[in-house]
A and B are shown apart, each in its own frame.
Chain A
Amino acid sequence: AWLGVRLAISVSLLFTASAVFEDQVGKFDWRQQFIGKVRFALFDTHSQASKKLLVATDKNVFASLNSRTGDLFWRHLDKTGPEGHLDSLLMYGQDAVVVVGNGRLLRSWETTVGGLKWETVLDTGSFKAAALVGVQDLVKYVAVLKKTAISLHDLSSGGQIWVENLPDSDTVQYQTIYSEGNGLVFVLGLVPNSHVVIVEYKIEDGEIMNKKSIQAAWMSSLESSCAVISSGILLCVDQITQSLYTLPLQSVEQKEMKQIHLQTLDLEVASGFQPVLTSTQPNPAQPPLAEFFLQLNPDHHILLQLKDGLIAPLRDFNPSNLVAFATTGEKTVAAVMSPKNETACSINLFSADTGRRHLDTTIIYHLDPNVGKPNKLYVHAFLKKDDSVGYRVMVQSEDHTLTFLQQPGRVVWMREEALADVVTMEMVDLPLTGTQAELEGEFGKKAVVTDGLLPMVLKRLSSQFILLQAWLAHLWKLFYDARKPRSSVKNDEVTIENLSRDEFNLQKMMVMVTASGKLFGIDSKSGAILWRHYLENIQPNSGFKLMVQRSTAHFPHPPQCTLLIKDKDIGLASLHVFNPIFGKKSHSSVPALPRPILQTLLLPIIDQDYAKVLLLIDDQYKVTAFPSTKNILQQLQDTASSIYFYLVDSSQGKLSGFRLRKDLSTELIWEVVIPTEVQKIVAVKGKRGNEHVHSQGRVMGDRSVLYKYLNPNLLAVVTESTDTHQERSFVGIFLIDGVTGRIVHEAVQRKARGPVHFVHSENWVVYVYWNSKFRRNEFSVLELFEGAELYNSTVFSSLDRPRPPQVLQQSYIFPAGISTLEATLTEKGITSRHLLVGLPSGSILSLPKLFLDPRRPEVVSEQTREENLIPYAPEMPIRTEWFINYNQTVSRVRGIHTAPSGLESTCLVVAYGLDIYQTRVFPSKQFDVLKDDYDYVLISSVLFGLFFATMISKRLAEVKLLNRAWR
């Protein structure tokens, strides 16, 4: 029983360790939710007052946005990967129909609540198209076209009405569906460069009413070059013959397409450009409009009309980048974006049926070099009170940014959807303010040498005076603000100009690199985006590595970050050097990198400008230094003998260690081969460079010290078996010294498989794997100790360590899935460590490292109690109080970045995935600052009370003495 109590006490002590108090909500944490690159967006035109904007994105997210503010109403995340891919989005009234997973599922959503209405599993077969089908002005069905079959479903219940195999589906590529509310569904297919196939189905029972094939030898794709307009007329465009072709779908007699030369319309398609037709069908139960856009070259659109079998141009838009149709009520309008000047575009509204411009409908869209070119236009049209058409537009840019504008060009909201895919990030200290820097500069090395005693004193006095001035100004501002009514006091908006480091260095600049090649600078306190920089021409599958070459500490030198952008296919890399505070590209000369880069090293060697040296190793093991000044090369030569690096070749299962020679060539010194037939290298991790270990050892129950094996060169290598059978699969972990190549330790988990998440820090490695025998996630911890004596306590050298370390290991069951794993990090490493575990539910669990201690005893003794070890329990506890992000879940968390702050107790945490969440954690509570709820009133009242009590009692004592003297 005593044991139980003891355990309860120790657990309850831990229990409070990293919890959030309710009054701390939103005080230092924030979350931003994203959706990803929009693929489909539809405005709810069901009612005039509706603010809904439905979007489906490439991140398999289906969401409803508030079109007035850009906030999310609700958001649903499907499976990642192709099985959750959103193929199509259709909307009718309150319902949105989504086709998911290459036509595997058909879902209908109730858009006001955000709940599912129904879900139907469709037959296998790759998805081609989906369309709403109306009967007598009412939309009742949804038709889904697959490669070999077409099916019709009821819109209200999802029930399948009929499914029919398509005729000759092995030769004909069926691509689109068309219906106009006349009881028929047309399926259009194509045999490339031969003929078009048109099949008519009856809506009631799926009976084939008519099937015909039309010669079209010039056509290679139906989807990209054709559209159906005006009461079922198929319209196609061809670049080679420079013609338009028309064909009534229902006509029985017409056996071939009618050719209309573009020349007769005085038009010409730019050579090599696939012309695009844009038509609109406002109501699926009605035929589409007779008007359509034809894009002749990237900057030229023309609005045309089909009337009585003749095509006539209504209006020529030259130049124009983007066009879109929109319908409200009975009116259909066309919005056209055309370049105005170098920095702006103008969007205008035209009536679709006449091509006449609506007056006073211009929206100016400012082109921002950091946003990228606009590439899609979504228009929300509405009827004003005077029955004229008003509109708002959403512009999507190359970098996935969504900008919502209204007249005359006011940006209502903006969503930086590039942030949905953060690849890597760093947290950079903010610069000191001018006065702070002045004070720091006083004690600079140069100043002491050049100046005498008297100038130094004067300098000191003047800087003190400046500080006094600044303080008075601050007081005055406080006083001034206090007099004003509360509402009129502006919130301290953070801008780049007034950025400065706070007292405890809690506010930092988050430099985030996204997959689309857009860089962001975000204020960690408020989450405001302070700068953005769009790198154009980034390949979609590039790898990024961000390094801080010079921190903010070297005033007046600006901080400097270097981003290595590497094309994953060919391996060629380039460098982008920038200032992390302002986001500006630095002018320093960047070395040309003609060969693929294998490895990068950031050395602690600094040049005269305090920038750390970056070594880049290419595929011929040649080393390029950046910056490569004389000073640096000299230093490199001096220290070359102690610079080692390693390379990983996972395709050959090879780890190799190299040494730098004086002439900057390299020398292979060791090689470890892990046979790829058995296992493959999944990940290799060293320790973090900015990590500090405060205590060299652990005090045991018997007062002896167990010294930690703190090898800074240790690499943790995780392998997975190539055999994935659940009986034979395993996960291996190797601890390899990066200098000598010695395998320090090797562990194998049998009947286990990945994905393996692991953290390598101090003297321990924690890793998580899936136990395929018991179907559960398991944590395993490896701790390395030197033993009771330290071999060489002053310097650690990999070359001189005769004794292998003692390795302790213990495993635990983790009763949940795991998305990512990271450890907290503090300034000096005194604070106890916690593991931050990202869960699939979106919560981030702060798990004390105390629970992952291989010395946890099975049988409790006096000594283990003395050491404060928790008795071993196989299952790891998960408490919702340990969720550092309470209900602010971070969806699909991919990475957690931890950074130390100026306070030892505080660690800054940023979790990123689809969302971004920033908070602070206090693994050992806030021991170095007063608590938030510190009771100033009580303390001061007690003090004053005591003071007055002494005064009164003194007086009373005096009176008493006097009285006694009189007696």
Chain B
Amino acid sequence: MWYINRLLDVYVALQAVFALSWCFSDLDSGPVVASNGDRFKIEGRAIVPGFKTQDWISTARVLVEGEDYVGFLKIDGSFAVNDVPSGSYVVEVVSPSFRFEPVRVDITSKGKMRARLVNYIKTSEVVRQSYPLQIRANGPHTYFMKRETWGWTDFLMNPMVMMMVLPLLIIVLLPKVLNTNDPEMRKEMEQSMNMLNPNPELPDVSEFMTKLFSKGSSKSGASNKGSRSVASKRR
């Protein structure tokens, strides 16, 4: 089964390459404007699932290569852009309410038509699409940003809040859970603390800091205070 699928893929790819070679050798260098004035028609249909056509067709238009050629939608959602010379065009259904993907349509000088995906980076890549065009809206446009709303869950799930609340819980609840009056327990805890602080000779950081600041002149303390108050004001 897998093998057959694979084979099919290869076949499709081959077909696409083949199609490229037979009709677009002259086209990939750019739009060729037919000098003999041959004009062709781009046909297709726009579909908005779940909506009646009369709700949106009056505001929609079919634009071919910007506004070079313009088509209008019929009541059944189909459209035809007349009077288009041979060349390669991006066909777009424009509507303020719905989003449609643009399609590139190539017309040879003999009037052969082909539709493919628009790819601005690899312009010669061919991913075939059905012709006459079937352009299906992929939903309404999203024009608006969501406002940030304030909710309790957002507040509680905030990492800063979590960082503050969890230690608080530990400080408040831990002494209740562990019976500190139990001498055995106390001994155990002391031991574990010693384990954490393997070198009792080393001065404790916090102790060091307090020493440092108490030694510092009152002036520095004042300035510290001052800066803090400024900071709080700023906030």
Identify the A interface with B (CB < 8 A): 16, 19-23, 73-74, 76-80, 83-84, 101, 104-105, 107, 110, 113-119, 121, 726-727, 772-776, 813, 815, 817-818, 840-842, 874-875, 880-881, 883, 886-889, 892, 933, 935, 938
Contacts and interface: CB of A to CB of B under 8 A. Distances in A.
Contacts of B65: 817
Q: Select the residue from B58, B72, B143 with max chain A CB neighbours within 10 A.
A: B143
24 contacts: A20-B144, A21-B145, A23-B147, A76-B72, A78-B70, A113-B57, A116-B72, A116-B74, A121-B39, A726-B29, A727-B29, A773-B29, A775-B31, A775-B123, A813-B121, A815-B120, A817-B63, A840-B63, A840-B67, A881-B142, A886-B143, A887-B141, A889-B96, A933-B148
A887 B61 contact: no
Contact of B74 (A22, A83, A118): A118
A817 B94 CA distance: 12
Contacts of A938: 150
Nearest to B76: A115
A115 B61 contact: no
Given A119-B72, A121-B83, 13 more contacts: A20-B144, A74-B58, A77-B61, A79-B70, A121-B41, A726-B30, A772-B30, A774-B123, A874-B121, A875-B121, A881-B142, A887-B141, A938-B150
A22 B144 contact: yes
Contact of B80 (A22, A84, A119, A874): A119
A726 B57 CA distance: 36
B147 A933 contact: yes
A841 B94 contact: yes
Given A817-B66, A880-B142, A21 B75 contact: no
A114 B142 CA distance: 25
Given A19-B145, A776-B120, A886-B144, A880 B99 contact: yes
A118 B78 CA distance: 10
Given A105-B82, A774-B120, A110 B96 contact: no
B88 interface: yes
A113 B74 contact: no
A136 B80 CA distance: 34
The 8 closest A-B pairs by CB, nearest first: A114-B58, A817-B66, A886-B143, A74-B58, A887-B96, A19-B145, A22-B144, A115-B75
Contacts of B83: 83, 101, 104-105, 121
A880 B100 CA distance: 12
Contacts of A78: 70
Interface residues of B, number: 44
Contacts of B94: 840-842
B155 to A, nearest CB: 10
Interface string B120-160: 11010000000000000000011111011010000000000
B18 to A, nearest CB: 23
A957 B29 CA distance: 87
B229 interface: no
A79 B74 contact: no
Contacts of A110: 75
A78 B31 CA distance: 23
Contact of B141 (A79, A104, A880): A880
Contacts of B150: 935, 938
Nearest to B141: A880
A577 B43 CA distance: 54
B59 interface: yes
Interface of B: 29-31, 39, 41, 53-54, 57-59, 61, 63, 65-70, 72-75, 79-80, 82-83, 88, 92, 94, 96-97, 99, 118, 120-121, 123, 141-145, 147-148, 150
A881 B120 CA distance: 22
B143 A117 contact: no
Contact of B30 (A107, A773, A818): A773
Contact of A20 (B67, B120, B121, B143): B143
B96 A113 contact: no
Nearest to A104: B83
Contacts of B57: 113-115
Contacts of A74: 58-59
Contact of B144 (A107, A881, A889): A881
Contacts of A76: 58, 61, 72
A131 B59 CA distance: 29
B144 A115 contact: no
Given A19-B145, A817-B67, A113 B123 contact: no
Contact of A842 (B96, B97, B99): B96
Given A117-B75, A119-B82, A776-B120, A887 B67 contact: no
Nearest to B145: A19
A74 to B, nearest CB: 4
Given A121-B83, A841-B63, A16 B145 contact: yes
B58 A875 contact: no
A772 B70 CA distance: 21
Contacts of B39: 121
Nearest to B67: A840
B147 A20 contact: no
Nearest to A78: B70
A880 B59 CA distance: 17
Given A77-B61, A79-B67, A113-B75, A887 B88 contact: no
A881 to B, nearest CB: 6
A935 B151 CA distance: 12
Nearest to A778: B120
B200 to A, nearest CB: 37
Contact of A21 (B69, B73, B99, B144): B144
Nearest to B142: A880
Contacts of B96: 842, 887-889
A772 to B, nearest CB: 6
A759 B126 CA distance: 35
A926 to B, nearest CB: 13
A20 B123 CA distance: 34
Nearest to B66: A817
Nearest to A879: B142
Contacts of A20: 143-145
Nearest to B68: A79
Contacts of A881: 142-145
B45 to A, nearest CB: 13
Contacts of B70: 77-79, 84
Nearest to A22: B144
Nearest to A19: B145
Contacts of B69: 79
B146 to A, nearest CB: 8
A101 to B, nearest CB: 8
B118 to A, nearest CB: 8
Contacts of A107: 72
B30 A115 contact: no
A719 B206 CA distance: 71
Contact of B143 (A840, A875, A880): A880
Contacts of A21: 144-145, 147
Nearest to A880: B141
A938 to B, nearest CB: 6
Contacts of A23: 147
A813 B120 contact: yes
Nearest to B78: A116
Contacts of B54: 113, 115
Contact of A80 (B29, B31, B67, B148): B67
A887 B123 contact: no
Contacts of A773: 29-30
